[in-house]
Amino acid sequence: MNYMKDVVCGMEITDSKFKSSYKGKEYTFCSENCKITFDKNPEKFAK
């Protein structure tokens, strides 16, 4: 199974409908709240 880490809260997830793209990379989130937090300030979380 392929695990991803939510860059906002650190939770390990396998899949999610909550996704955002930033500078050509796709980020996956455990919840809509984490996606909204990322979208407000992607520079803070994108590494």
Q: How many domains does the chain have?
A: 1
Question: What pLDDT, on a 0 to 100 scale, did the predictor assign at position 22?
Answer: 97
- pTM greater than 0.85: yes
User: What sign does the dihedral 7-8-14-16 (CA atoms) show?
Assistant: negative
Q: Rounded to 5 degrees, what are φ and ψ at 38?
A: -60, -50
Per the structure block, which two tokens stand in for 27?
A: 């980020």
What pLDDT is stored for residue 47 in this prediction? 76
The DSSP line for 7-36 is TTT--EES--SEEEEETTEEEEESSHHHHH
Tens of pLDDT along 1-47? 789 999 999 999 998 999 999 999 999 999 999 999 999 999 999 97
Average pLDDT, the chain: 95
Q: What domain range is 26 assigned to?
A: 4-45
